[in-house]
Amino acid sequence: MTFEERVQLNEDKLNDTDDQIVEYIRKNREEIGDISIQAMAKALYTVPNTIVRFAKKLGYRGFAEMKAALALENRRAEEDPHLPVTGIIQKTLELLDSERILQAVRKMRRARRVFFYGVGDSAPFCEMMAKYLRCVGKRADFFTQRHEMLYQADRCSERDLVFVISASGETRQVLEAVAAAKQKGTYVISLTHLSRNPLAEMADFRLYCWAPKQVLNRYEITDRTSMYIVLRRVSEVFWKVCGVV
């Protein structure tokens, strides 16, 4: 996982000082291998321990590992985001954060009802997830048509939860429905490809997979294996929290 991917994945954990460290690293990436932790701390008017804590928030063992990883990234050529399926699986496993999934499951468990939104190739995942929650007694439903999503969103409340599935995070019909649900105070969880996208920005809680857009002869052929991996893990944790498995 790259530095930027780690930053996005863990952005909810970062404070203002951490954001300053991120900007410093971005501006000094080419020289990062020669910068000591003491020099970085001095430049940021902080102490070395703060930088170590920052590195650990991103999943590194410490400053030395973070610096070595950044130096290695600088030496590599830009990677092709369209990995083979084995690469997509590995990348997604790196993105799986057990604590974040547990947090999402707890939110779902406390909600009165859980609704899944998604269109196109994401629609079957919505149906699957609603079934996976219903089988342990949770009130859940799925909506895959624009008018159905809008109708239901207008009838949501702050006691409900909307779980939105979209690889791109840019689907207009979904964004419109999410905006309507949020006006009712409904909590929103998103699952998208690890990227800066409108849906992730709108969501109260973000989950990520590795599903970069792919097009062949004008057909979208984005590999959604990663979506299933994340959703299956969410389901398994939900069942476990419910005491069923």
Q: Are both 15 and 37 inside the same structural domain?
A: yes
Kind and range of the H or E element at 187? strand 187-193
For residue 38, being part of any structural domain is answered with yes
Q: Are both 41 and 15 inside the same structural domain?
A: yes
For residue 22, being part of any structural domain is answered with yes
Q: Are both 231 and 111 inside the same structural domain?
A: yes
CB 185 within 8 A of CB 195: no
**How far apart are alpha carbons 173 and 183 in whole angstroms?**
16
Q: Are both 122 and 193 inside the same structural domain?
A: yes
Q: Are both 105 and 213 inside the same structural domain?
A: yes
For residue 131, being part of any structural domain is answered with yes
Question: How many domains are there within the chain?
Answer: 2
CATH of residue 59's domain is 1.10.10.10
Which domain covers residue 50, as residue numbers? 3-75
Q: Are both 117 and 66 inside the same structural domain?
A: no
Q: Are both 19 and 61 inside the same structural domain?
A: yes
For residue 115, being part of any structural domain is answered with yes
pTM: 0.80
**How far apart are alpha carbons 26 and 21 in whole angstroms?**
9
For residue 80, being part of any structural domain is answered with no
Q: Are both 127 and 42 inside the same structural domain?
A: no
Q: Mean pLDDT of successive 10-residue segments in the chain (245 residues)?
A: 90 93 92 89 94 94 90 66 75 88 97 97 96 97 96 95 96 96 97 94 95 87 92 97 86
Q: Are both 181 and 237 inside the same structural domain?
A: yes
Q: Are both 111 and 191 inside the same structural domain?
A: yes
Scored b (16 or more CB within 10 A) or e, 7-46 reads bbbbeeebeeebebbbebbeeeeeebeeeebeebbeebee
Q: Determine the pLDDT at residue 81.
A: 55
Q: Determine the pLDDT at residue 77.
A: 47
CATH of residue 128's domain is 3.40.50.10490
Q: Are both 107 and 197 inside the same structural domain?
A: yes
